[in-house]
């Protein structure tokens, strides 16, 4: 049995929040460089270089990469042999509060009825998954809503099949146009039920960029989606070129015989994510 204190969780989340806002992970930085190298439009190439320079300034001068420092999702993978000394949920929320206050990050969360800003960026959205063992992993995904607002979910009839799902996914991305700040990372959940599809679409954003699905047919689907989106899309920030999408990640789950849920979670080029094992 391993013990992790609430104080340690708070401190870790505080650090993840501040780091995520300022420092892109190597996977997204590499993807932007690769996009720049294959870009055909001079303007789009210039914009990609601007985005790299933005990442450099953000990291060096501790200015957030984007003013929309997001609403926070925290995925907790909790080993069954781990004892949390204290209140896990409260510890995470406190870490977000401290990180956003002390890191000079924007508080972007409001009451949905009154639209009054909560002033703390709380609450964060927390998902806890149990597993055997002693791991306590926190994965932090703050997400701006320029991209989140362009996401979608559709309950397709089974007759639509995977081709119908592909059309819906591509349409969702292409119709989003410049709004979600392409080049995008696109998370897709196919199957399960209503909420499972949405959760898969979000969680699969955290797969390291460029690593294909372990399922061969799903990996082929990811390739197909990427090619179509970059052919039909309007490029970097909608200003042209061949880089509308940097990566498509698809996760699947068995579904009901009457159902074909498809969820598309759109992520902007400022793909901020951090994780830590405690």
Partner 1 sequence: MSLLRAPSAFAADFKELALPFADGVVASLRAGDLVYLSGTLYTGRDQTHRRLCALLDQGKDLPVDLAGQLLYYVGPSPARPGRVIGAVGPTTSYRMDSYTPRLLDLGLLATMGKGARSLPVREAMQRHGAIYLAAFGGAGAFLSRCVLSVELVAFADAGPEAMFRFEVLNFPAVVINDVAGRDFYEQIGTGDTPS
Strands 82-85 and 136-143: unpaired
Of 233, 260, 262, 263, which lies in the binding site for partner 1, with binding defined by CB under 8 A?
Answer: 233
Q: How far is the CB of 220 from partner 1 (least distance, A)?
A: 20
**Residue 261 DSSP code:** E
Q: How far is the CB of 6 from partner 1 (least distance, A)?
A: 27
Q: How far is the CB of 170 from partner 1 (least distance, A)?
A: 12
Our finding on whether 17 is near partner 1 (CB under 8 A) is no
Dihedrals phi, psi of 178, to nearest 5 degrees:
-80, -10
Of 7, 104, 131, 193, which lies in the binding site for partner 1, with binding defined by CB under 8 A?
Answer: 104
- C-alpha to C-alpha distance for 126 and 261, rounded to whole angstroms: 23
Our finding on whether 193 is near partner 1 (CB under 8 A) is no
Identity of the residue, 5 or 46, whose beta carbon is nearer to partner 1 in the bound complex: 46
Our finding on whether 278 is near partner 1 (CB under 8 A) is no
Q: How far is the CB of 178 from partner 1 (least distance, A)?
A: 5
What is the H or E stretch that residue 16 is in? Answer: helix 6-22
Task: With beta carbons less than 8 A apart as the criterion, state whether 144 and 270 touch.
Answer: yes
- C-alpha to C-alpha distance for 144 and 124, rounded to whole angstroms: 13
Identity of the residue, 117 or 193, whose beta carbon is nearer to partner 1 in the bound complex: 117
Task: With beta carbons less than 8 A apart as the criterion, state whether 38 and 117 touch.
Answer: no
Residues 112-131 that bind partner 1 (CB under 8 A): 115, 117, 119
- C-alpha to C-alpha distance for 99 and 11, rounded to whole angstroms: 9
- Sites of contact with partner 1 (CB under 8 A): 40-43, 46-47, 49-51, 53-55, 57-58, 61-69, 104-108, 115, 117, 119, 146, 149, 177-181, 230-235, 237-244, 268-270
């Amino acid at each position: 049995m391993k013990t992790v204190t609430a104080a340690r969780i708070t401190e870790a989340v505080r650090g993840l929040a501040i780091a995520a806002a300022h420092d892109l992970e190597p996977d997204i930085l590499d993807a932007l460089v690769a996009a720049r190298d294959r870009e055909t439009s001079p303007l789009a190439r210039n914009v990609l270089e601007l985005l790299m320079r933005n990442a450099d300034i953000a990291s060096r001068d501790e200015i957030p990469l984007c003013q929309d420092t997001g609403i926070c999702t925290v995925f907790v993978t909790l080993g069954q042999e781990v004892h949390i000394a204290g209140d896990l949920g409260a510890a995470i929320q406190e870490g977000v509060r401290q990180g956003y206050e002390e890191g000079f990050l924007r508080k972007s969360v409001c009451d949905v009825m009154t639209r009054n800003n909560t002033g703390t960026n709380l609450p964060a959205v927390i998902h806890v998954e149990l597993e055997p063992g002693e791991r306590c992993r926190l994965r932090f995904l703050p997400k701006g809503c320029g991209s989140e607002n362009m996401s979608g979910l559709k309950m397709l009839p089974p007759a639509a099949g995977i081709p119908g799902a592909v059309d819906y996914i591509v349409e969702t991305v292409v119709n989003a146009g410049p709004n979600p700040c392409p080049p995008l990372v696109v998370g897709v959940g196919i199957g399960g039920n209503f909420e499972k599809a949405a959760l898969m679409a979000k969680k699969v954003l955290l797969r390291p960029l460029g690593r294909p699905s372990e399922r061969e047919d799903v990996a082929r689907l990811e390739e197909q989606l990427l090619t179509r989106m970059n052919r039909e899309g309007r490029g970097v920030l909608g200003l042209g070129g061949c880089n509308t999408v940097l990566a498509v990640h698809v996760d699947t789950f068995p579904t009901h015989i009457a159902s074909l849920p498809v969820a598309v979670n759109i992520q902007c080029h400022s793909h901020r994510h951090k994780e830590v094992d405690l």
